[in-house]
Chain A
């Protein structure tokens, strides 16, 4: 028998994850869900005033997170929710600590070492869905909302949740249904007085849909940024000041800064909020993209990072001799990527303005005294915004799955168009358009075949 009271968890694990956006922030939150949530919380929680404390549901408690070794890691507040009354439907505990990366990481590590399993992306929402706390049509949007780290992505997720996106898709679907109805009417009612639409008319309608589908699919460039953040890689020759810029932009001492060339062996990345967009800033190893170098593994990694990046900040040490020819060299290898050129160490070069006259694209900065950084930031934001879709409508594709379905629909519509051009029998064109409709249906999860007949009966007088 089914036990209506029993909740579903992925297995019998208790899962844990940080639920606040990465990067800086005043307070970070961690969530535990599963049978051992309360037990795990009690194991690390040290009350501020009493020796022992009882957690009552939904009551926020103040205290400290004490490591297994006994040291206090952070000042925290925590709350416990019993099974059936939490977001996931499972027993749940939440810990609020200070937002620094290190603190959060240590707490997470402690909980995992004590037996919690790191949650898969979206697992909390999946549990919430499976336990009937939310339905799937909204689950995706909720998952995005939860993951949304900045204002812009929050707005888009909210629009999805409100159904603007779904409505737009629905309209596209209706456009398709109209064409299909024309074709189907001519197949199912050939003896009737139905005036079959001209081929040119159908072609026009199909081109219209294609344009709309393409327009929507394209918003994924922006949608992806909203959802996954904007990848900015800092590149340049060793000692150009990449790590210094990285730290400057994050306004914190994070990356390792050294005076000897080539000490940033691997790469570092951090999130920052630039004008409402989550930007993932990556400090790469110092490389000579063209020449050979001892830091081979770092170099390969960097090349891959450059390839995947949405934008590259390419740093030039203006105080080094021969930077011009080296730059020309390096640029050849970065062809086709979106690059912002930055001339660093202007504090060391008195004549930098004269030097840069021939290079108006280079933004002069000093990572030492911070001059020029404001302009750099505003240019960076401008560049990002260029890639962003028009958000006023809220109709942005943010999911790779949706994008894939749209692309499938586009392929089917294109194929239908070809059939029409070749003057192929309408059941083939209808076949492709029906496939397209089904691809679209997989986005919204709506399937109703009757709609085509409804459309036919509403539009045409049929009946002998």
Chain B
């Protein structure tokens, strides 16, 4: 019981800090995911169409992903300095891989009979992509977006090390002052945020997936 009341006291006394860190965290995650989607969609479709570049592009994004996130932030500081932009760049690059890969696989796994029927009926490449391949790949693409989102919200706790704020601030201060309640007051909202985003995206996905495809499973 004492645990909860201590935790509660910390949350109340540090509310201003937690609140602004929460908003910063949401902002960082949201903006980087949005930009990552804007980059990955055309990139994924492009490598799915011109198969030649698929391996190198997926390879490069995969290698970037294997760099430990903390090292990656540190890496960027000498190049872009510190601040929000540095954090955004790192987060965007992190979010790219799952989305690009899922756009790519989503599109290349569309049944060849769909492609043949569409082409044979006289759809242009672009019409085929928009009317057939993209809608059929949509559930896959959304799965990639959800993975990227949860990942980004977690990694965004490191933004504090480049002075970009976020809930990492709260956790870091808790660690420095050896205050487990403050650490928790930073970590719990991160988890809630990740669950909330995932839930919202799942809802969006269900609404946007055509009824005919939901019958499949």
User: Do A and B come from the same complex?
Assistant: no
Chain B residues with CB under 8 Å of chain A are none
